[in-house]
A and B are shown apart, each in its own frame.
Chain A
Amino acid sequence: MDKIIVSDSIVKSFGVGRERRNVLDGVSVDIGAGEFVAIMGPSGSGKTTLLFALSGMDSVDSGSVVFDGEDLSRLGDDALADVRRKKMGFVFQQPTLLKNLNVLDNVILPSVRDGTLSALQINEKARALMKMAGIEELETRGVGQASGGQLQRVGICRALMGDPKVIFGDEPTGALNSTSAGEIMDLLADVHRTGTTVVLVTHDVRVATKAERVLFIFDGKIAGAHEAGRYDAACDDVDARQQALATWLAEMGF
């Protein structure tokens, strides 16, 4: 399998003087193209920091991250922005939408900036994505007039507008009830099925059950990896899969 992200001994530290400590302490993670990887670990262990490092959203102190063949630490700010716009999509724990814009405008914003598609293509694509996400009727609503789950779906549509190679999710379902969370996860599973790589930070075992591989991070280090194989709703036994993961996590001390 081709690697889309190759990282080697990432070190990232915060704080100054005696307070300074390594939040990421020599992490090496490779992610295959089209893979679905879940990252789990206790609160404060460095999951979000790792996600930011892998996506070039934040610089690293040492080590390297190669994304789709490009060494991110060698790219300038503008080149990083281009990579982010053309090859990545982000979904955060809280919906990060601009409250000045209505729902549709939020979705199309990065594509309009990118300028590769025509206005007509952009609008059509956005409407198709929103239909898929089940939020087509929200189009002209303001951001303040939609529920949390709906907004999270808006965020996913926005992340998908540029046909990204990788979607990063930082607990996108963390703030939602289980029904909403399930729907969001189904949406991400659909995206994965079309060939998009998904890297997802989560606390939720049920969510991680659908991942091909689960990484456990503890105190800034990868403490272990659980290979579950590609999930197929038709033939896999979800409960068994979840049981196996839970057992492994318990071993890891989760």
Chain B
Amino acid sequence: MGMLYRLIRNDVLRSTAVTLTTMLFVAAAALLVALAATLVVNLAGAIDTMMTRAKTPHFMQMHAGHLDRERLAAFADGNDAVADFQVLEFLNLDGSQFVFAGGSLAASVQDNGLSVQSERFDFLLDLDGNVIAPSDGHIYVPITYMQDGTARVGDTVRVAGTPLTIAGPLRDSQMQPLLSSSKRFLVSRDDFADIEPFGSMEYLIEFRLHDLAALGAFQAAYVAAGLEANGPTLTYPLFRLINGLSDGLMIAVILLISVLVIAIAFLCIRFTLQAKIEDDYREIGVMKSIGMRVGDIKRIYLAKYAFVAAVGCALGYALSFSLQEPLLANIRLYMGESDSASWAPFLGLLGVATVFLAITAFVYLALGRFHRIPAAEAIRFGVSQEAPSGGRRVRLSTNQRLGANAFLGLKDVLVRRKLFATMLIVLVLTAFIIIMPRSLHHTISSKSFITYMGVGETDLRFDVQQTDRIADRTAEIAAALEGDDAVSAFVVLTTKAFEARSSDGSEVRIVVELGDHSVFPLTYASGRAPTGDHDIALSALSAGDLGTGVGDVLQVMVGGQARDLTVSGIYSDVTNGGKTAKATFTDDGAATMWSVVGVELTDASLASAKAAQYGARFDFAKVSAMDDFVAQTYGPTLRAVGTASYAAVGISLVISALITLLFMRMLIAKDRYAIAVLKSLGFTASDIKTQYLVRSVFVLALGVVLGTLLANTLGESLAGAVIGAFGASSFAFVVDPLEAYLIAPALMALSVLLATVFGTLDAGTIRVSESIRE
């Protein structure tokens, strides 16, 4: 034991920089894994806790228009799956009706409205998770508006002229995320009644089921019963998904980075071990020749790395406790405390233990090489005789034009491929982490990205809903747009419900948006936009429900007759619950649920002004500028991804510089003899530095090219998977060539080459007289 301790201590002391760096990466890996584990437990737990306390509905149908409460109650009574049923009222108010101290919500793209507290389920909660009971004159505001500074506790807000005091924030288990387009404010019954004449009523028809597993069957039964359905349908799993999305994205990013850091920690270890084995080649041979067991030698190294890994893991785990607070703050605020939070440290510990075990297993496997060192050969040659087959053909005698320095640098990389492969992999990974998140950010912030989410690329958008004369009013808007010189194109899309027959033969109700879909096309995951009267395009979720693919035939009741429609394309959609369809046929008999007018302006910069102008003129419609819509809906996510991508760039540059520095120090230490020989032959210090720079440039160029390729292929699919969480199934990078192909490589070159220059500053100052005697 004493001897083992001394061996480890000596080894750690001799290679302090390398040991510390390895420990650092292990600590970073452990930290990230522990953080991710803690966050997952807290997020999942907090969402569940919140949704349990709020008693979130399992099935919710939004509905505008006439409501037959008796028929609904009868349906609920007659359905065995139903545990509870209620109809809540949501008073839709125009954004301009909410006047805060700092201004109104006129520019808000959200559907803002008032609610009263429910009596049975779907409760609105305060920050302690308790059901709020608002008193007269008080209003509770969605957390988002408290967070962005619109509302402050104690301030007065005028809602449709009625002054109300802001009593506090509220947690809404179903409408809270920005992706959900409605926001509920909570007031007392009396205040609600006072304001009711100023808004339009929308109903939330809500059900709780005995067993969530019966949701699919229940949904089918609801549709089959032909009940109220003028509006989107939302379900419990969807609520849970959108509640977890933005934090889930953050966790995904942390996990991605931690995988890369673990990979780099592994590379560091592989690299040091390799160098170590080469250095000790002779000694190991001698030890073997005097009869020491290979197992004994392995145990020494294993013990060293187990020690390094243990310290690193302990450090990372400890650090994770101080770093998790700021990351958990967001989850705590929006979702509240998780009931299972006490489990988090254990899961974190489990994650860290996994890292530790992975590292020790890795070292154990890497040490397998010891068995393959033949004692005789090691003693005779002192250096590993593994055939340097690489670059055997590359000869100075036939490549003199390269110059001696460039040749020596290149040749060394070719001969010591295994050693340089480590540096190459690190550079490939860092190039990948630099380019991939930047491309992702660039892609999702590009204007056309919304076409992946089921929204056409327009400048302006009119939403006409919850009025009894949708068709007339939409025509009014169309006439006005026709006469507006600033409008270069517009299209009216009308949404109606139809009966369809799914592939298993059952009747389903589908919501179809009718009109010309070629003007502001979506990006189709497969197929194309519908063009003729017998085409229909389906959202990915609808297609899944109906069990149809592109080219399949779907029978739909149009104008009282069954019509065979061919599925022309499938697109991703996050709007209206994600289950939508698009077609171009007309059916004047069917009732209009809502309509949308998409507008393109000759000058896109006028969008906001035009939105305000038309908003004032057609007070029945919600008019929004697309840029505002995107900024308000996806803005925080975009900013988060942007910040994360810049962080990734910074971290990667530091990692590549650090590893290069380490690598160069190690190379120089290993190459002392060769450097001394070169100096004795009359090579100058700058010759030798040039040779190291050539090595770096060579590996760097290869690394950047491979990393860029990888980012644009694997990275694209990976990003596609993340984006898939938003409901978008097809995905192609919009690469910023300047950034990806010029700035990113330039930054990497800068960090790697600076590190090389810095790391090899003293390469030429080796004293020949000392080194050559060795």
Partner-B contacts on A (CB < 8 A): 48-49, 52, 57-58, 77-78, 81-86, 88, 90, 92, 96-102, 104-105, 108-110, 112-115, 119, 122-123, 126, 140, 142, 144, 158, 162
CB-CB under 8 A from A81, the residues of chain B are: 679, 682-685, 687
Please list the residues of chain B having a beta carbon within 8 angstroms of any beta carbon in chain A.
Answer: 381, 383, 385, 388, 395-397, 400-401, 403-405, 407-408, 411-412, 415, 673-674, 676-687, 764-765, 767-769, 772-773
Residues A113 and B411 in contact in the complex (CB < 8 Å), given A48-B773, A77-B684, A100-B388:
no
A119 & B684 in contact (Cβ 8 Å cutoff): no
Q: Which of B407, B677, B765 contacts A96 (CB 8 A)?
A: B677
Q: Quick check: B401 and A119 within 8 Å, CB to CB?
A: yes
- Tell me the smallest distance from the CB of B279 to a CB of chain A, in Å: 15
Residues of B within 8 A of A86 (CB): 682
CA of A83 to CA of B684, assembled, Å: 11
- Check A113/B682 contact, CB under 8 A, given A52-B769, A98-B674, A144-B381: yes
The secondary-structure label for the interface of chain A is helix
In the complex, the answer to whether B395 meets A105 with C-beta atoms within 8 Å is yes
Contact partner, A101, options B396, B676, B680, Cβ 8 Å: B396
Contacts of B404 in A (CB 8 A): 109, 112-113
Cα–Cα, bound, A85→B765 (Å): 17
Asked if A84 and B396 sit within 8 Å, CB to CB, the answer is: no
**Docked CA distance A140–B678 (Å):** 21
Q: Is A158's CB under 8 angstroms from B400's CB? A: no
Residues of A within 8 Å of B684, CB to CB, are: 77-78, 81-82
Contact A100 B411 (CB under 8 A): yes
25 contacts between A and B (CB under 8 A): A48-B773, A49-B769, A57-B768, A58-B767, A77-B685, A78-B686, A81-B684, A81-B687, A82-B682, A84-B681, A84-B682, A85-B681, A96-B677, A96-B680, A98-B678, A99-B388, A100-B388, A101-B396, A108-B400, A112-B396, A113-B682, A113-B687, A126-B397, A144-B385, A162-B682
Among B388, B396, B674, B772, find the residue whose CB has the most chain A CB atoms closer than 10 A: B396
Q: Which of A92, A108, A144 contacts B772 (CB 8 A)?
A: A92
Query: What's the count of A-B pairs with C-beta under 8 Å?
Result: 99
- Given A78-B684, A78-B686, A97-B677, check contact A112 B395 (CB 8 Å): no
CB pair A58–B768 under 8 Å, yes or no, is: yes
> What B residues does A48 contact at CB under 8 A?
773
Give the distance in Å from the alpha carbon of A81 to the alpha carbon of B385 in the complex: 32
Considering the chains assembled together, what is the distance between the CA atoms of A201 and B166 in angstroms? 98
Q: By the criterion CB–CB under 8 Å, are B685 and A78 in contact? A: yes
Which of B388, B407, B769 meets A58, CB within 8 Å?
B769
A82 contact set on B, CB distance < 8 A: 682, 684
Chain B residues with Cβ under 8 A from A112's Cβ? 396, 400, 403-404, 407
Distance of A115 Cα from B396 Cα, bound (Å):
13
Docked CA distance A140–B680 (Å): 24
CB-based contact A101/B685 at 8 Å? no
> How many angstroms from the CA of A155 to the CA of B773 in the assembled complex?
16
| B388 adjacent to A98 (CB under 8 Å) | no
Known: A57-B768, A100-B415, A104-B396. 20 other contacts (CB 8 A): A58-B767, A77-B685, A77-B764, A82-B684, A84-B680, A84-B681, A88-B682, A90-B681, A96-B677, A98-B677, A100-B411, A100-B412, A102-B395, A104-B395, A105-B395, A112-B400, A112-B403, A113-B403, A140-B395, A158-B681
B9 CB to closest chain A CB, in angstroms? 26
Among A112, A119, A122, A144, find the residue whose CB has the most chain B CB atoms closer than 10 A: A112
The minimal Cβ–Cβ distance linking B656 to chain A, given in whole angstroms, is 26
A78 partner residues in chain B, CB cutoff 8 A: 684-686
A104 B397 Cβ-Cβ under 8 A: yes
Which residues of chain A are within 8 angstroms of B381 by Cβ–Cβ distance?
144
Residues of B within 8 A of A96 (CB): 673, 676-677, 680, 772
